Structure 1
Amino acid sequence: MAKETSKHRDRSGTRPFKGQSLAELLSNTRAVKRLTLRDVQEATNDEVSNAYLSQLETGRISRPSPNVLSALARVYALPYELLMERAGYIAPSPAGSELRSASPRSQGGTLRFANETLTNEEQEKLLEYLAFLRSKRPTRK
């Protein structure tokens, strides 16, 4: 049991989307956003219970319904297509488009620094660093 938990709870923040299973993606995203299981349950209007989300994050449930994925995509601000892909409902995107489709641009914005638009590589590095910084914060109780 400990092995399975550690496998799905890598919160190092490196490579935010690439190569992560659905369980890892959900767990890492919730950690970066500093949400509890109950916070997510509340944010989905009880559409996703904290117990069900826990099972998703540990990989006990690997193919939730599209409705559940839609609710989680809204709460986590992730592309619905990315979650559908990780759950096995749709074919994977072509190589290299994964981070681009999951970037803030798909949410209507582009990451910017001063007056310069960041490249995809810069965005990836910035998101990795942000995840690292957030992982170092003391946990709230």
Structure 2
Amino acid sequence: MDTLGTTLKESRKSLGFTLIDVQSETGISNAYLSQLENDKIKSPSVNILSKLSSMYRVSLKDLLAKANLIDREKAKEEEVNFSFAQQVAFRSEDLTVEERDHVLKYLEFLKTQKKT
């Protein structure tokens, strides 16, 4: 399992950023960033993770979970649900109002089948 530090370092490098680049963009010192990437700082602030999430294009929930600031299993489940919702939204762009109503009714039908 990737640690917070590993995730941050790999994300930064995959985007071609140096620690100095990140410092310039976020105001977070490169020394602090280095400590984060080497897992010497285990629980940074949400503000720090939010800045890095945005710059690195990484899920904030993933970073929060890896920093043990939120429950990992719940974060994974929510990420799966969000991904599913994104897929449904993408595929429904060209549907008529009536077709969208049918999709919603079908989802409700599936939920009732699950309960029985």
Q: Residue type matched to 1:92 in 2? A: R
Gaps of at least 5 residues in structure 1 are 1-18, 111-141
Contact 2:61–2:75, Cα closer than 8 Å, also in 1: no
Query: What are structure 2's unaligned runs of at least 5 residues?
Result: 91-116
Looking at structure 1, the residues matched to 81 and 57 of structure 2 have their Cα atoms a distance apart, in angstroms, of 12
Paired residues, what number?
86
Assess if the C-alpha contact under 8 Å between 2:62 and 2:75 holds in 1: no
Q: In the alignment, which residue of structure 1 is the partner of 2:21?
A: 39
TM-score (norm 2): 0.63
Higher RCO, Cα 8 Å, sep 6+: 1
Q: RMSD of the alignment, in Å?
A: 2.7
Would you identify which runs of 4 or more consecutive aligned residues in structure 1 move more than 2 Å? 93-103
Does 1:69 find its partner at 2:60? Answer: no
| Residues 24/54 of structure 1: CA separation in 2 closer, same or farther (3 Å cut) | same
Q: Which has the larger radius of gyration?
A: 2
Whose helix fraction is larger, Structure 1's or Structure 2's? 2
